[in-house]
Structure 1
């Protein structure tokens, strides 16, 4: 019997043997342990050998459940994405639905920064990831936008969440402190050549507690995208 394809594993269409001894491992358990590993050490730390050691089994044992790293990372991505946020019911308008959608997506990227790298390129989508697309399209149903326009809206919002999550992840830990120190040094070296840059950063630094930061940057971008989308929807209607 040939090994299961990535699509078969993602969508659970593989035929599992119904007889014989109870499996010592489960596919869900393997995926959960792999996610714990890369959450702690990054995607570069993942290998079938390293994962097998963490599980207390041989590498060959893992191949009974997942053919290789390509299939494993696809399963990890779909599990890390989880299910999309539930719509608040029929009274929820498209703007609220998309806002909730992108904020929840940003939170998933923040929780698992490595997932961003795995979303690149041509690849099969799992049921959770497909569910996120379905949820965003459903929020835009009845707006008068075409299928292409609704899909482009998803790309635009997803791109904003992804790029900001990447930036925030790179600034985690001591990164923000380091940047602040380096920025002060750069402004001293610049000798007043960039007054608008210096003024903007000074104003941000003086903002009340809770203002600025990743969440404000996310919401500001999302609201501007939704403002433009509202104009287009009004034109359609």
Structure 2
């Protein structure tokens, strides 16, 4: 359970926003929340989230594990402070938004993608009611709402769209991370001939022709140099097209209109 302040605000939220007032009792403090979070993020960036423990962070900072508990209640609180740190925002966050809602949303999605690429361990930290109150989450939501502002959506609709788009980006970032850790599958003619004995048009009438032509995975037609980048762009375009259709902003006729 997340510890709360006297006002009822979750303690990690108060810490992250700088409103938390620590007790003055006990020994003099030699650390800061910022130092602890910065060190924990450095460990996660280098070795993954599993490497982040209270003992490891304390050791890297030159303090005892018990001393960290004067600042951070437990590892769950530390993880919340990590994913809420504004230091996670990539340099692209400071860029001027592109003209028009569509390009601004595309830039916003790319911002999220860049953040996950630089800090892939973020994908392993569970989200919840407390995490959405952290500085980075609220900044990202605000940026997304700004991009959507010219569509005339209500606040609840804006948040729903932000959730849908950010979920898509996180899912694709996870796929990119998983693929990056695996070897490419390359099939020669003999392998395709063997596979062709079981992957037949009778069994898989729609997928088999693509598979056997090499357009599905690992074949001679699979020559894209950008990995899944083209797939990511297509998926994002489909979502943006859906927004345009729903709220009537497409230049072309609405295909769903009667």
- Give the TM-score normalised by structure 1: 0.82
Post-superposition offset of 1:214: 3.1
Matched, 1:64 2:70: yes
Post-superposition offset of 1:34: 0.6
Structure 1: unaligned runs, 5 residues or longer: none
Matched, 1:103 2:110: yes
Equivalences for residues 64-143 of structure 1 within 5 A: 64-79=70-85, 81-82=88-89, 85-86=93-94, 88=96, 92-124=99-131, 125-143=133-151
Give the SS at the match of 1:24.
coil
Q: Distance in 1 between matches of 2:193 and 2:127?
A: 36
Structure 2: unaligned runs, 5 residues or longer: 6-10, 201-207, 251-258
Give the SS at the match of 1:67.
coil
Q: Distance in 2 between matches of 1:99 and 1:151?
A: 16
1:76-121 CA-to-partner distances (Å, cap 9, x unmatched) read 11125427824636x7211111000001101111111111222433
Q: Distance in 2 between matches of 1:123 and 1:186?
A: 50
Equivalence for 2:254: none
Equivalence for 2:44: 38
- Give the TM-score normalised by structure 2: 0.76
How many positions carry a matched residue from both structures? 228
Post-superposition offset of 1:185: 5.0
Q: CA RMSD in A?
A: 3.1
Structure with the larger helix share: 1
Q: Kindly tell me: are residues 206 and 214 of structure 1, through their superposed partners in 2, closer, same or farther at Cα, counting changes over 3 Å? A: closer
Greater CA radius of gyration, 1 or 2? 2
Equivalences for residues 1-237 of structure 1 within 5 A: 5-16=11-22, 23-79=29-85, 81-82=88-89, 85-86=93-94, 88=96, 92-124=99-131, 125-173=133-181, 175-177=182-184, 179-180=185-186, 188-191=194-197, 192-193=199-200, 194-199=208-213, 200-201=215-216, 202=219, 204-207=221-224, 210=225, 212-234=226-248
